Amino acid sequence: LFVTSLLNAAGLAMVVFLAFGLRYYSRREARMVAMQAAQSELETARDEADRANAAKSQFLSRMSHELRTPMNAVLGFGQLLEMDDLTETQRENVSFIMRSGRHLLRLIDEVLDISRIEAGRVTLAPQALDLREVAEDVLADVLRRSQEENKPLAISLEAPRELPRVHGDSERVRQILDNLVDNAYHYTPVDGQIQVRIHANSGEEVQVDVSDTGVGIAPEDQERVFERFYRGEHPLVLATPGTGLGLPIVKQLVEMHRGRIWMTSKGIPGEGSTFSFTIPRHQKSVGRGKNG
Ligand code: ADP
């Protein structure tokens, strides 16, 4: 009797064990099936988003090309008109056409640039680069401009002679600095200051700070300056033709170099802003846009 009940108990335990095992197994199985289904849905959604993104970039880049040609014609014929014998009112009208045309062309160029960068169709040609030379060029241009436009500003460069070279694409690094200095120029009223400071920082990078004494950026808006089409609310900014695409392009270009970019501003008029970026000194698989 004892042996029989022992066998019965063992049998029962076995049945219970099998039942639990089976339930556990089928639950696990079901969980795995659900997970696989979710993963494949996610992959499909991601592929669709990638395709839509590529189509959008291609559309933008084609459109921008198509828009550039007639825009160049408008500006070319506008320039011819400017040379004619015009009345004061006609001259003002032509100048308005030219200003709007240039603004539109810049917008087209920037949309083209950002869509090409995002589609991973911009490749860098990095080389050993002296940031001091780039900054000297950019500041010489802005100085000329301030004289031509009769907008006096104190423009200065601070960089040690023995500055290490960086690994960067000269044209694109110039574009980065050009854009930041251009903003400092536009958003700083007459008699203000623009200072570019270049120094090797403790990491393996060289850091560039572009400071101005301009209108500054309110603390609550500082996160947004790198967003596309952001222009803020300041009257001086809104009175200046702009696109709100300069900083997003600059950010992408810095990140393509594996550098970093950030800004600080007390948001107090006259205390201005400082935009800083870094470019690595050595090769760090610098290359393509976000897809590369
Ligand atoms: P844009 O200059 O064409 O408006 P950006 O993308 O270069 O576009 O800049 C976005 C916005 O960030 C500007 O419209 C302005 O509000 C703000 N900003 C950028 N640089 C400065 C600066 N140096 N001082 C004050 N505001 C700035």
- Can you read off the two tokens belonging to residue 60? 């933008």
Q: What is the dihedral of CA 162, 167, 168, 174, to 10 degrees?
A: -10
Spatial CA neighbour of 243 closest among 222, 226, 253, 228: 228
- Average pLDDT on 122-139 reads 96
- The whole-number pLDDT of residue 61 equals 74
Q: Is 191 left (phi over 0), alpha (psi -120 to 50) or beta?
A: left
Segment 95-103 mean pLDDT: 92
User: Is pLDDT of 292 > 70?
Assistant: no
pTM: 0.77
Kindly give the distance from the C-alpha atom of residue 290 to the centroid of ligand 1, in angstroms, as a whole number.
23
Most informative mutation of 225, 228, 253 for ligand 1 (most atoms within 8 A of CB)? 225
Give 183 Cα–ligand 1 centroid separation in angstroms: 6
**CB of 181 closer than 6 A to ligand 1?**
no
Q: Could you tell me if the CB of 192 is within 6 A of ligand 1?
A: no
- 102 CA from centroid of ligand 1 (Å): 18
Contacts of 199 (CB under 8 A, 6+ apart): 159, 160, 163, 206, 207
Residue 290: its pLDDT value, please? Answer: 46
Q: What's the confidence (pLDDT) of residue 2?
A: 65
Distance separating alpha carbons of residues 219 and 264, to the nearest angstrom? 9
Neighbours of 203 (CB within 10 A): 11
DSSP summary character for residue 163: P
Predicted pLDDT of residue 1: 63
- The pLDDT assigned to 78 comes to 94
Q: How confident is the model at residue 286 (pLDDT cuts 50, 70, 90)?
A: low
pLDDT beyond 50 at 82: yes
In this structure, the residue with its CA closest to atom 9 of ligand 1 is 244
Instruction: Report the half-sphere exposure of 93 (CA within 13 A, side-chain side).
Output: 6
Q: Is the pLDDT of residue 291 over 50?
A: no
pLDDT digits (tens, 9 = 90+) for 12-70: 777 776 776 667 777 888 888 888 988 888 999 988 888 887 787 778 777 877 888 89
Instruction: Please give the structure tokens belonging to residue 34.
Output: 């659900």
Query: Distance (Å, rounded) from C-alpha 94 to C-alpha 84?
Result: 11
Decide if pLDDT at 4 tops 80: no
Taking CA atoms, 9 is separated from 6, 17, 18, 21, in Å, by 5, 12, 14, 18
Give 228-271 pLDDT, tens digit per residue. 999 988 888 888 888 899 999 999 999 999 999 999 998 777 78
Whether the pLDDT of residue 203 is over 90: the answer is: no
Q: What is the pLDDT of residue 264?
A: 93
At 150-201, the pLDDT tens digits run 999 999 999 998 899 999 999 999 999 999 999 999 999 999 999 999 999 8
Atom 2 of ligand 1: nearest residue by CA position: 242
Q: Which are the contacts of 166, defined by CB distance < 8 A and separation ≥ 6?
A: 128, 129, 131, 173, 205, 206, 279, 280, 281
